[in-house]
Amino acid sequence: MKKSDTLRRLCLLLLICALLCSMSGCRRFDYDPDWIIGKNSAEIQKRYGAFDFCNAEASDDGLVRDCVATYYIRKDAKQLFGDPLPDIKFHIWFDETGIAYEAYRREDFP
């Protein structure tokens, strides 16, 4: 087997792997719980973008208080043959002053 054939096969294999990974529906973010804890919602959203879900409205100063906010890392994704993948969420809990006190990643089946 020639080196060029081996290189082509390797490139094809890498392309297939990349395609399968992109089809998984997984949005990759490296949420950092150590950085998040102690920050307010405005600081967190400035770094990671708007929350995908929050069970409370922002107050007049734009901060959320006494609630949980969620980023969806992967939602409603299917495996290659249609079986559902678990949803992956990143939850952030805020106290009554609007400061994050807990943050963690969680997998849930839909």
Domain count, the chain: 1
> Which tens digit of pLDDT belongs to each residue from 48-85?
999 999 999 988 898 999 999 999 988 777 777 777 78
The pair phi, psi for residue 10, each rounded to 5°, is -65, -45
**What is the reported pTM?**
0.67
Task: Give the count of beta carbons closer than 10 Å to the beta carbon of residue 79.
Answer: 12
Residue type, 77: A
Strand order in the sheet with 87-94: 53-54, 67-74, 87-94, 100-108
37 Rama sector, left if φ>0, alpha if ψ -120 to 50, beta otherwise: beta
The CA-atom distances, in angstroms, between 76 and each of 55, 92, 100 are 20, 21, 27
Domain housing 37: 3-108
Encode pLDDT of 23-45 as tens digits: 554 444 589 999 999 999 999 99
